[in-house]
Amino acid sequence: MATTPERVIAQETPFAGAIRRLLATIERSFPPSYRGVVRCTLVGGCAVHLYTGYRVSDDMDAKFDPGILLSETPVVTYEDAGGAAAVALDRNYTDILAMMHPDWQQDALPWENLGRLHVSVISPLDLAVSKVARFADNDRLDIIQLARAGLVSAGAFAARCAEAIDYYVGDLTFVRLNVAEATDLIRKCSPGTSPP
């Protein structure tokens, strides 16, 4: 049985605290006259960490709606087991270059409301799907960690990719090969199976 993502998303680590502080810094940069809500969806390494505690990142990938304009890049420092570290907002992040299911934002899981900034985290399933187009070594490892945590199954992953691929523009040959390899990794790394 898959682990409930809502329960796993509550990682209490120095890095999770740094993510919260970075988001709070961003919220404080909004003009005092702004009375609306900005919706933020975390993706990438920060999302992997919040679900698995597996790794940290030196940047935070996030989608903001509406978009935000910042005069400088927000950065926070924190102490981790390895010593002093920092995480900054990746101001160049875009979801355009990844294979994303069209419902990925509406299926994201709520995490924190920080004043006018309401933060969600991409679902584990869509997070795994987002790793397939590039499929570098760290993407493979992220998918393996999500599978080991019981947060994504091979069947659900393959089905979500089949839906998402219709919205992807690019060389589908390699993406399909990546999907097949990732599906096999998930199957081999799911709880109750021996590690590859």
pLDDT tens string 73-121: 999 999 988 899 999 999 999 998 889 999 999 999 999 999 999 999 9
Residue 150 counted as domain residue: yes
C-alpha 128 chain-centroid distance = 9
CA distance 83 to 105: 34
pLDDT at 188: 97
Residue 195 counted as domain residue: no
Residue 149 counted as domain residue: yes
Q: What is the pLDDT of residues 43-58, one digit of tens each?
A: 999 999 999 998 999 9
Mean pLDDT, the chain, as a whole number?
Answer: 92
Least confident segment among 4-8, 72-76, 125-129, 138-142? 4-8
Q: What are phi and psi of 96, to 5 degrees?
A: -70, -30
Structural domain containing residue 108: 5-189
Residue 45 counted as domain residue: yes
Residue 134's contacts (CB-CB under 8 Å, 6 or more residues apart) are 97, 98
pLDDT beyond 90 at 152: yes
Residue 194 counted as domain residue: no
Residue 196 counted as domain residue: no
Q: What are phi and psi of 9, to 5 degrees?
A: -65, -10
How large is the average pLDDT for residues 60-70? 96
Question: What one-character DSSP code corresponds to residue 39?
Answer: E
Residue 69 counted as domain residue: yes
pLDDT at 87: 98
**How many independent structural domains does the chain possess?**
1
